[in-house]
Structure 1
Amino acid sequence: MNSCDLMKDPMKYDAILVAGENEDSHNVCNQYKALLKLNDQYCIQYVIEALQKASAIGDIYIVGPKKKLMSALRKTPIDFNQPKKIHFLEQRSNLLENVWYAFLKSLPPLNGRKDAEIAAFVNKAVLVVPCDSPLITTHEVEHFIANCDLNRHDYILGLTPEKSMQYFYPSDHKPGIKMAYLHMKEKNYRINNLHMVRPARVEHRIHINKMYEYRYQKQIFNMILLVIYLLRFQKLKNFRLLLGLQFSLLSARLDLPWFTAIFKRWVPKKDLEKAISHLLNTRFASQEIQLPGAALDIDNDKNYETLKSEFENWRSYLADLNE
């Protein structure tokens, strides 16, 4: 199925907007990330607005501290009933439980949520997005969904190539943000935070949560912990992939491009996709998306301050890309 066929598909996908404030999330500037302010709007508002305008999106399920989010968002122009119905759900203990809980709530009423009844909806796909990507655009969401081949895959992760991120780098004339990348043989990619997934078809979901715990790969300790964890489950032949990812990331951080170029050759994109499919016991694939808005998430205090100063300039640049 090509992208034109997918664009004609009238199917709508519910969106799960993860906005947890629990053990595997962290604050920025000592504040809850979803309610950080950018030009007098909450960070999560920009994400909601982008999803509300997307024709491919059905209902929106927001998982987080329910009372805090509802109290804050009631004071904004966001309508909880149109153009998309917004459901607020109380957060669970971690990311995995939040997504699974929202997925169950998106299903028609079931008697006790028994496994046999859930199995009837095993092919239901949802879009999972974070609350801390305020530069995400409607066009980006629809472009990603239109190019997700759900006939062949059950979990599709968006990747943005480094070239698309270079506009946002710091320079002598302006502040900027330079993110960490997955260094693959073909290109360097930034995970762009858009996930199209059939949750009931990802059998080993627990690994997603563990990888999320170690997601800040600029911290060497997290890199080591992730390698140790994954080695328990990966085939020996995938050891080279794992080392290639970690060594290229480390050498890039140390500004050793020659070593990065060597280690990234160990990581062909298709081989990495196969390894992730095996780890999660699902049909995993990545989808390259040139639009970079969703990839610019708020990871730390410095990024937040930069985003505040450059927000309107960057929004204008992204709007031009969408035309």
Structure 2
Amino acid sequence: MQVPAVVAAGDRGAAKAIHGESKAFLAVGELPLVAEAVRLLQRVPEVAEVFVVGDAGRLEKTLRDDAVRRELVKPLTIVPQFRNLYDNAWETYRRLLPGAPPGGRDPATPADVEQAVLYLSADLPFATAEEVSAFARRAAALECDYALGLVTAESMEDFYPAPGRPGIRMAYFVTAQGRMRQSNLHLVKPAKLGHRHYIEEMYEQRYQKQIGPVLRLAWRLLTGEGGGLAALAGFGRMHLAGYLDRRGYTRLADRLARPLGFARIERLVGRVLAADFRLVVTEAGGCGIDVDNDADFDTARARGAEWRAAQEAKARRLYGALALPAGGAERGAIEPRVVPGGAP
């Protein structure tokens, strides 16, 4: 199975700047983060072609750099960004459908409706091709409408502070299966999501440590289509368990989360989205680290080389070596193309 991949590199809507700059164009290693994401996807066998949606002018300049072009073996398309994350995801999907004109088209056939897309964010400095590939394989095997990636808290311990060295601690969801974090990987059949509008709302209210976003999303779940008391109760239990866990009440958090097994979470989220929703865990952990604030970005830069080497070794140990798909283009022969799109 091969699918198109979409790298979300937009800086509108709920996107956050880092040090006043669009994070997609900041560098933790040698290249800007968006260039690293594109380069990584060249090594993922399940990815057939790559689309990047964001500031088209800056993306074209960045992705035409020789350091990126010489690594390209798959078609690369730049899509000018739209108003927000939801529009970026949907409008890029319309442009990647087979036979779509440059401005895209709506899904019109059963094959269009079943078209799966791998979505990932641009700011994943420690993602590895092996972990992305493992997620794509496992998600595709479920044959669902939306597979959301998770990593375990144990896999994230590699990034914690150490004596005399800075680190990153992310917030977790507490579930019956343990503490989890979203991995920034999504395998989605966009046309099969009955309530697609919730995606942007959930993204905008995603900060678990801030009470305002939590309350706004809770109200939306209570009053919105596909929500109701059951969705609100599950959401409230999960966030309360997370709150208690962050304050050291781990036993109480575990007790509260006992009813929150993956199957129940999948049913609740599936009901909200009007889709077959599933959770997929990968073990390496690198895909769970994004850079959403200045401090985490600075830490990622300070320990970047060390963490990158450790993640690559860990991913190879967990998943084995990757075999590139046959039929790739000669390196350096592909020129990024830009299609019409975007909103003022």
Same fold at TM > 0.5 = yes
Matched residue, 2:25: 35
Say which of 80, 83, 104 aligns to 2:73. 83
CA contact (8 A) 1:46 1:136 kept: no
Q: CA deviation at 1:167?
A: 1.5
CA contact (8 A) 2:33 2:123 kept: yes
Pairwise CA RMSD? 1.9
Could you tell me which amino acid in structure 2 is paired with residue 237 of structure 1? A
Matched residue, 2:134: 143
Using a 3 Å threshold, how does the CA distance of structure 1 residues 25 and 40 change in structure 2: closer, same or farther?
A: same
Q: Which whole-Å deviations, capped at 9, do the CAs of 1:102-141 have from their partners, x for residues lacking one? A: 1111112347966562554101101001000121111111
Structure 2 residue 255 is the aligned partner of structure 1 residue 265 = no
Matched residue, 1:19: 9
Structure 2 residue 305 is the aligned partner of structure 1 residue 312 = yes
Using a 3 Å threshold, how does the CA distance of structure 1 residues 303 and 113 change in structure 2: closer, same or farther?
A: closer
Could you tell me which amino acid in structure 2 is paired with residue 203 of structure 1? G
Using a 3 Å threshold, how does the CA distance of structure 1 residues 152 and 110 change in structure 2: closer, same or farther?
A: closer
Could you tell me which amino acid in structure 1 is paired with residue 117 of structure 2? V
Matched residue, 2:268: 275
Could you tell me which amino acid in structure 2 is paired with residue 268 of structure 1? G
CA contact (8 A) 1:15 1:59 kept: yes
Could you tell me which amino acid in structure 1 is paired with residue 27 of structure 2? K
Say which of 99, 103, 106 aligns to 1:109. 99
Provide the C-alpha distance between the structure 2 equivalents of 1:110 and 1:76, rounded to a whole number of angstroms: 29
Structure 2 residue 166 is the aligned partner of structure 1 residue 168 = no
Using a 3 Å threshold, how does the CA distance of structure 1 residues 319 and 120 change in structure 2: closer, same or farther?
A: closer
Provide the C-alpha distance between the structure 2 equivalents of 1:115 and 1:127, rounded to a whole number of angstroms: 18
CA contact (8 A) 2:52 2:79 kept: yes
Any idea what SS the aligned residue of 1:272 has? Answer: helix
Provide the C-alpha distance between the structure 2 equivalents of 1:25 and 1:140, rounded to a whole number of angstroms: 25
Provide the C-alpha distance between the structure 2 equivalents of 1:83 and 1:110, rounded to a whole number of angstroms: 22
Q: CA deviation at 1:151?
A: 5.4
Q: CA deviation at 1:253?
A: 2.8
- How many residues align? The count is 313
Which structure has more relative contact order (CA 8 Å, sep 6+)? It is: 2
Which stretch has the larger CA shift, 190-199 or 30-39? 30-39
Pairing of 1:125-274 with structure 2 (within 5 A): 125-150=116-141, 152-233=143-224, 234-274=227-267
Any idea what SS the aligned residue of 1:285 has? Answer: strand
Provide the C-alpha distance between the structure 1 equivalents of 2:173 and 2:17, rounded to a whole number of angstroms: 24
Structure 2 residue 58 is the aligned partner of structure 1 residue 65 = no
Any idea what SS the aligned residue of 1:144 has? Answer: helix
Q: CA deviation at 1:149?
A: 3.8
Say which of 290, 307, 314 aligns to 1:297. 290
Structure 2 residue 314 is the aligned partner of structure 1 residue 321 = yes
Provide the C-alpha distance between the structure 1 equivalents of 2:41 and 2:313, rounded to a whole number of angstroms: 19
CA contact (8 A) 1:14 1:106 kept: yes
Could you tell me which amino acid in structure 1 is paired with residue 138 of structure 2? N
Which stretch has the larger CA shift, 194-203 or 229-238? 229-238
Normalized against structure 1, the TM-score is what? Answer: 0.91
Q: Which whole-Å deviations, capped at 9, do the CAs of 1:145-196 have from their partners, x for residues lacking one? A: 1112455411101110111111211132321111011111121101001100
Say which of 45, 52, 67 aligns to 1:55. 45
Matched residue, 2:335: none
Which stretch has the larger CA shift, 247-256 or 269-278? 247-256
Any idea what SS the aligned residue of 1:77 has? Answer: helix
Gaps of 5+ in 1: 1-10
Gaps of 5+ in 2: 317-344
Provide the C-alpha distance between the structure 2 equivalents of 1:270 and 1:217, rounded to a whole number of angstroms: 22
Q: Give the percent of matched residue pairs that are identical in Structure 1 and Structure 2.
A: 28
Could you tell me which amino acid in structure 2 is paired with residue 172 of structure 1? P
Using a 3 Å threshold, how does the CA distance of structure 1 residues 76 and 220 change in structure 2: closer, same or farther?
A: farther
Could you tell me which amino acid in structure 1 is paired with residue 269 of structure 2? I
Provide the C-alpha distance between the structure 1 equivalents of 2:108 and 2:29, rounded to a whole number of angstroms: 45
CA contact (8 A) 2:96 2:104 kept: no
CA contact (8 A) 1:218 1:253 kept: no
Say which of 80, 92, 99 aligns to 2:82. 92
Any idea what SS the aligned residue of 2:127 has? Answer: coil
CA contact (8 A) 1:122 1:200 kept: yes
CA contact (8 A) 1:240 1:266 kept: no
